[in-house]
Structure 1
Amino acid sequence: MDGRSFASRFFGDESGATALEYSLIVAGIGLAMFGATSLVGDAVVAIFQDIAAKLGSFEF
């Protein structure tokens, strides 16, 4: 087996490139979701704590 032919086939093969691109897109979406939830998370917790406090003082 010739070293140059192996190297040219190895670096010329783009069959795994699509999977890598999709994995980078999914990783980017995951980071965006993490950032959004960390920014909005405190506000959502405050809303639910306010609702819980109002329900806790409610008498039947």
Structure 2
Amino acid sequence: MVRKNWKVAGSLLLIATLILVRWLTPAKVANNLATGILGFALVIASAATYLISGYRRTR
């Protein structure tokens, strides 16, 4: 049970950190298309990892 909670907390912390980094980057960097795509890909990857781990636990 403790391990599950740590995994959930870690996933949420990663997503929150990525969102904060996107907010706090300067306008020049935030407007860069490659940076935007990379940040979006990281958010999608972390969300997918969380969903897959949850799916495995329920089966």
Normalised-by-shorter TM-score class: 0.3 to 0.5
Tell me which of the two structures has the higher relative contact order, counting C-alpha pairs closer than 8 angstroms and 6 or more residues apart.
Answer: 2
TM-score, length-scaled by structure 1: 0.45
Return the TM-score normalized by structure 2.
0.46
More helix by share: 2
